[in-house]
A and B are shown apart, each in its own frame.
Chain A
């Protein structure tokens, strides 16, 4: 399964390990064997996105280390009061679990997609989209609370270092935009699955490519990446 046969039956088996890396890259055809080009390109895109988010997080680290004004305590700023007691970071913890769950349903959607189980794939994609929309909704609530109740602005806030607001809105805003775009594409993918576009290999209206269940996996890569970025934001922004 991990080393499937290729269309060139009878050809020599591909070398593994370091020899395989050299052979793949120097083969003068395509470097990424066994991978549809759409998926390879999604990986390359995610690599570039990794650099964008890393630049944000590293510049956030830089401004946080340079400020001589105390940094607002995220544990308190993002706490929620439940039944009279202050629970630290509660909203963020719930958002984390929601996003991880959406990653789980996405992984299963990809799996059922390759089994050509249209109905289950469709439902799992919609659940993923719903969880993603829930995440964005909770983020909107969080932003509203910070802007309206706490008076936090990108250029300053009453709690401490001015850089807190600019880092927060930049990083979570960019991540939230990624989630929102993901939700839209999840719905598009779900519709394609349920109406049989992928089974019938109907050409896409934008690209003209023949429908294929690979697009569910490519969609999955993007979605898991959004979850991956949140893991880093959660660790370095909220827990620091």
Chain B
């Protein structure tokens, strides 16, 4: 092979993932359509979101076929964002509480 650096896979796998993404999107739309609420809604939304994101990165962006060095370099740093997410949520709870106290009843 002259060019060994390209990603070459059977076309069928893209069609399957495409179909799967359609189904998952339909599911996440259904969450809203049937008006699920509370923890069930959040669980379903985040589940479908992570599944879709995973499929896109893994197959469409060929991440599963890359070497571990590239995978770690790209996938590990965004985990830091969970810290920012946590700080944001903590701070927001406090701000909400303080607004309730000082601006009385919203």
Interface residues of A (CB under 8 A from B): 1-2, 4-6, 14, 16-18, 20-21, 24-25, 31-36, 40, 43-44, 46-47, 50-51, 54-55, 58-59, 61-63, 65-69, 75, 88-89, 93, 96-97, 100-101, 103-104, 106-108, 110-111, 114-115, 213-214, 217, 220-221, 224-225, 227-228, 231-232, 234-236, 238-240
Contact = CB atoms under 8 A, between A and B. Distances in A.
Given A20-B67, A108-B11, A111-B14, A66 B52 contact: no
B40 interface: no
A170 to B, nearest CB: 16
| A24, A62, A213, A227 interface centre (most CB from chain B within 10 Å) | A62
Main secondary structure, interface of B, reads helix
A35 B1 contact: no
Contacts of A20: 67-69
A117 to B, nearest CB: 11
B60 A224 contact: yes
B89 to A, nearest CB: 7
A224 B54 CA distance: 12
A69 B106 contact: yes
Nearest to B44: A239
Contact of A235 (B45, B56, B99, B100): B45
8 contacts: A54-B78, A58-B81, A63-B92, A68-B100, A100-B18, A104-B17, A107-B17, A228-B53
Contact of B4 (A34, A44, A220): A34
B72 interface: yes
A235 B78 contact: no
Given A65-B96, A107-B59, A235-B48, 9 more contacts: A6-B4, A54-B81, A58-B81, A59-B88, A110-B7, A114-B8, A217-B62, A220-B60, A228-B57
Contact of A5 (B4, B56, B68, B72): B4
Nearest to A66: B95
B77 A232 contact: no
Contacts of B4: 4-6, 34
Contacts of B7: 110, 114, 217
A18 B29 CA distance: 40
A4 B80 CA distance: 33
A236 B57 CA distance: 19
Interface string B91-106: 1110110011001001
Interface in B13-34: 14-15, 17-18, 21-22, 25, 28-29, 31-33
Contacts of A61: 85, 88-89, 92
A37 to B, nearest CB: 10
A121 to B, nearest CB: 13
